[in-house]
Amino acid sequence: MGKTPVNRQIIDNLAQEMGVTDFSRATIREIKAIASKAEAASGVEFIKMEMGVPGLPPSSVGVEAEIEALRRGVASLYPDINGENVLKREASRFVRAFVGVDVAPEGCVPVTGSMQGTFAAFLTCTQCRPERDTILFVDPGFPVQKQQVKVMGAKYETFDVYDFRGEKLGPKLESYLKRGNIAALIYSNPNNPSWICFKEDELRTIGRLANQYDVTVLEDLAYFAMDFRRDLGHPFEPPFQPTVARYTDNYVLLISGSKAFSYAGERIGVVCISDALYHRPFSGLDERYGGGTFGTTFVHRVLYALSSGTGHAAQYALAAMMRAANDGSYHFLDDVRTYGDRARKLKEIFLRHGFRLVYDKDLDEPVGDGFYFTIGYPGMKGDELAHELMYYGVSAIPLSTTGSSQEGLRICTSFIQDHQYGLLDGRMATFAENHPA
């Protein structure tokens, strides 16, 4: 085996020290820790692609609004569990402006990041009907969401959508939904990690089946409107962010401030519950709580127990960013197109050195360039590749951790710096020499 930029023994010792004997089971945080410690021990700069953390400055619109709110003294009061009215109004407008559907302000509920939103939604959905105790993950997806279900003590099913796009999606979904135990299904759109985006026909199919089998759809819009193949950034004008909400009333939209607004550190997002679902009673909720609807249970029972509300100042920040976007004075997507530019450059380097894109197609068109993409290398499993690239000062997570059945890695573009393209090119040239395909 040829020489590598990082001494192999350093990586292997650190992995053993941390109990990481199988990279297919390693968490994102474990891989990040190995990379950070190896960088310090070897003096070799690591190209870190494992963490899905925004790498751009936060919106100044949000920062100024948050500072002003703090100066007004909002920190001295508990926030309203329902959320600040100004954010609820602007979130409702935002959904109308960029998704093209109507959700009343009442159903637009601030949460401390979409992570809390999904946890609260999982809890509420699995309590609605005793026989509906399982969440269906349309994978690949965000690994921590399955951890949330495990923490709750609930059940989940999963399948990799790789081989079930287009006309194949309906029969595959129905094979799970007809069992009668699915409380909700969840997917991200654009998808973490593959960056595929469901087409209108696929969303129509999901909506039809949600209606037929009375299942709630949790649509994770963490990367809101970041399919840069289409210009989704003009308020109240098509094209809009694709959504299942056009085809069913059984939906919850999870909109995050973290990626599209680069406001991850303040843990702010909005859960938008359809008007019909918000006001719908369920027998399980009546039995457990003595009454209430899906929406009131979500807010006054579940969220209240989890955090007793979402921080005041961050709500004012998100409200200001959404208001400016709604008014057309803040073109938020302009700030994050950088991720697409980075993905394009990184893909070119990997492909030139013998790698391949794993999720390469959105049905009849190439997958877009954005926050994530996926790579594989001939003859290597994902866990092997993740381990081997560590020797070259590159860290990424295996697709197996995302629920994918494909062999490869998730590459995140968020932390790439301009000087690292040259570093990566040289290291992947060495990798290719040491691993002739």
Mark whether 36 and 128 lie in a shared domain: no
Q: Omega into 239 within 30° of 0, i.e. cis?
A: yes
CA distance 389 to 387: 6
244 by Cβ neighbours in 10 Å (0-12 / 13-18 / 19+) ranks as buried
Instruction: Give mean pLDDT, residues 20-47.
Output: 91
Q: How large is the average pLDDT for residues 313-324?
A: 98
Backbone angles phi, psi at 365, to 5 degrees: -135, 155
Q: Please say whether the beta carbons of 253 and 245 come within 8 A.
A: yes
With a cut of 90, say whether residue 244 has pLDDT above it.
yes
pLDDT on residue 308: 87
Query: Quick check: 54 pLDDT over 90?
Result: no
CA distance 139 to 159: 6
- Tell me if 280 is assigned to some domain: yes
Residue that finishes a domain, picked among 327, 354, 389? 327
Among residues 275, 293, 327, the one where a domain terminates is 327
- Same-domain status, 86 and 225: yes
Residues forming beta bridges with residue 110, ordered by sequence position: 270
The CA distance from 179 to 157, in Å, is 12
> What's the CATH code of the domain at 318?
3.40.640.10
The pLDDT confidence band at residue 55, using thresholds 50, 70 and 90, is confident
Residue 55 lies in a domain: no
Mean pLDDT, range 18-43, rounded to an integer = 90
Tell me the mean pLDDT in the region 80-84.
95
Measured distance CA(60)–CA(122) in Å, rounded: 33
What pLDDT, on a 0 to 100 scale, did the predictor assign at position 1? 63
Q: Judge if the upstream peptide bond of residue 140 is cis by omega within 30 degrees of 0.
A: yes
Q: Are strands 216-221 and 182-188 parallel, antiparallel or unpaired?
A: parallel
Residue 53 has pLDDT above 90, yes or no: no
DSSP β-ladder status, 372-376 and 251-256: unpaired
Tell me: do 315 and 392 sit in the same domain. Answer: no
Lowest mean pLDDT among 15-24, 121-130, 307-316: 15-24
Of 364 and 138, which is predicted with more confidence?
138
How far apart are the C-alpha atoms of 325 and 99, rounded to whole Å?
A: 13
Q: Are residues 76 and 136 in the same domain?
A: yes
Q: Is residue 114 part of a domain?
A: yes
CB 126 within 8 A of CB 183: yes
Residues 391 and 39: beta-carbon distance below 8 Å: no
Q: What is the DSSP letter of 76?
A: G
- Do both 345 and 399 map to the same domain? yes
Provide the terminal-to-terminal Cα distance of the chain, rounded to the nearest Å: 14
Alpha carbon distance 259, 210 (integer Å): 28
Q: Final residue of a domain: which of 270, 293, 327?
A: 327
- Assess whether 269 and 151 both reside in one domain: yes
User: Residue 338 — very low, low, confident or very high, per pLDDT cuts 50/70/90?
Assistant: very high
* Tens-place pLDDT, residues 403-435: 999 999 999 999 999 999 999 999 999 999 999
CATH of the domain at 381: 3.90.1150.100
pLDDT of residue 51: 83
Beta-sheet strands, E only, within 34-122: 47-48, 108-111
- Side chain identity, residue 327: D
Question: Once rounded to an integer, what is the mean pLDDT over residues 305-326?
Answer: 96
Q: Which two tokens stand for residue 378?
A: 């001939």
Number of domains in the chain: 2
Strand spans (E) along 151-210: 155-160, 182-188
My answer on whether 195 and 275 are in the same domain is yes
pLDDT digits (tens, 9 = 90+) for 169-205: 999 999 999 999 999 999 999 999 999 999 999 999 9
pLDDT in tens, 111-134: 999 999 999 999 999 999 999 999
The answer on 385 and 292 residing in a single domain is no
DSSP H helices, 299-377, are 304-306, 312-327, 332-336, 338-352
pLDDT at 101 over 70: yes
- Do 66 and 164 sit in the same domain of this protein? yes
Judgement on whether residues 234 and 374 belong to the same structural domain of the protein:
no
37 lies in which domain range?
A: 8-44+337-434
* One domain for residues 19 and 135: no
Average pLDDT over the chain, rounded to an integer: 95
Residue 51 within any structural domain of the chain: no
**CA torsion sign, 280 to 283 to 284 to 287?**
positive
- For residue 2, being part of any structural domain is answered with no
Task: Tell me the C-alpha distance between 252 and 210, whole Å.
Answer: 12
Task: Based on the fold, state whether residues 19 and 114 are members of the same structural domain.
Answer: no
Residue 144 lies in a domain: yes
Q: Is residue 322 part of a domain?
A: yes
Q: What is the pLDDT of residue 148?
A: 96
Taking residues 211-220, report their average pLDDT: 98
Two tokens, residue 334: 């302009």
Q: What is the mean pLDDT of residues 213-227?
A: 97
Instruction: Please give the radius of gyration of the chain, using alpha carbons only, rounded to the nearest integer.
Output: 22
Using omega within 30 degrees of 0 as the cis cutoff, is the peptide bond preceding 79 cis?
no
Confirm whether 53 is domain-assigned. Answer: no
Task: Indicate if the pLDDT at residue 342 is higher than 70.
Answer: yes
Tokens of 156: 């989940």
